[in-house]
Amino acid sequence: MKRVRPIRAAVALALLLLCGPSAAGPVVAPAGAPRAPGSAEMAPHPVDSKTYNEVWTYQVRLNNHMDLLVNLSRGNFGSFKEPVCGANVLLVGFPGGTRAVAREYPKSNFSWDPAAHRLKVHREIWLEGLPPKSHRLHFATKKNGTEWLIDLEFSRIAPSLVPGNGVWKVNGHLFGQVIHVPWARVDGVVAVGGDTVKVSGVATMDHTWQDDMAPEIVSRTVRWRTFGENWETGYLVRPADGNEAAGYALRKGASGPEIRVPQSWKAEETARRGGIKDWPVRLTVDYGPGGADTLSFGDAWSRTSMLDEFEGVTRWAVKKFFGGEMVDYRGPAKVNGRNGSYVNAFVK
């Protein structure tokens, strides 16, 4: 009998990012006034279900031509997979071309030091410091003979906001989101194999968690940010039915960050891309009195299917379990017609 390959770390992370509330239904935004996130929001949230996940996501633009995506995560997968923690990196524009690595560890590796605001998934893979005062990201590993090092120090961190407690409800299930770093300068080093590059640039970081794993309800997720000092950033999750969305966006205002909570989003234009017949190449996000954003996708520099990790019967079973194929798009975009933007989206 042919042995089925185990689920890789990259697939586990894809499961995390595509988790969401367990059935389509009305989206209820958090109650309460916007406020600055603090230590309690940066900390891991209580794990109270068999299918739970939490992800800290960095989007970074380095040396005006490199794009870096880093995720630190932990998750419970019910009977589908043992609980794990880990990290995932995608680096575009580095010498030698696009590079990627994923590491997965037993969930017992995961730790949180509230005094230092230090979260670890491995002794050499961690984040530290509470924005906007300070922050640092460190990732070091060796896999398949290739050594990796990412060490970035954050400065000039823009203050952030979160709506109420930052927890949405979709059909009674929970989706939490905090944008901890809406914009910051970063300086440090990136090394892959024998190539080491001193880097500087800009970064954002957000943090999401969900109380259930049921990707069949998630038809779209979209995360975006702009590179310039007049920044905009956001992350939205859309249930399978209707145009409602959970999540929120921030932009730089004249006196500080401005928060906008979406009422809906709509695909203004679609195209057949990568085997998907209705890929949303232009989206409008409606914030009601807060105005609207239009997101236009360019040509992806990374477009992958989660099913690429599986073969034969296993591929069929995974597709059936999740109710379809899930494709991850990463690449350039325009936000309200402005160049120099980035989009990361999942589409089922």
Residue 336: give its domain's CATH number. 2.40.370.10
pLDDT at 40: 95
Does 255 map to a domain?
yes
Retrieve residue 200's tokens. 């500087």
Count, residues in the chain? 348
How far is CA 26 from each of CA 29, 109, 138, 163, 166, rounded to the nearest angstrom?
A: 10, 37, 39, 18, 17
Q: Tell me the C-alpha distance between 291 and 343, whole Å.
A: 20
Does 51 map to a domain?
yes
Burial 288-321 (b: 16+ CB within 10 A, else e): eebebbebbbeebeebbbbbebbeeeebeebbee
Q: What is the mean pLDDT of each run of 10 residues along the chain (348 residues)?
A: 42 47 64 94 84 89 93 80 86 89 92 98 98 98 96 98 92 87 98 96 93 56 86 85 84 95 87 70 90 85 55 51 60 83 70
With beta carbons less than 8 A apart as the criterion, state whether 176 and 168 touch: yes
pTM for the model stands at: 0.86
pLDDT at 217: 43
**Could you please report the per-residue DSSP string of 250-305?**
EEEETTEEEEE--SEEEEEEEEEETTEEEEEEEEEEE-GGG-EEEEEE---SEEEE
Burial 53-66 (b: 16+ CB within 10 A, else e): bbbbbbbbbbeeeb
Does 26 map to a domain?
yes
Largest CA distance in the chain: 65
Q: Tell me the C-alpha distance between 89 and 125, whole Å.
A: 11
Domain count, the chain: 1
Retrieve residue 154's tokens. 């954050």
Does 4 map to a domain?
no
pLDDT at 337: 86
Is omega for the bond preceding 83 within 30 degrees of 0, making it cis? no
226 lies in which domain range? 9-347
Does 66 map to a domain?
yes
Does 150 map to a domain?
yes
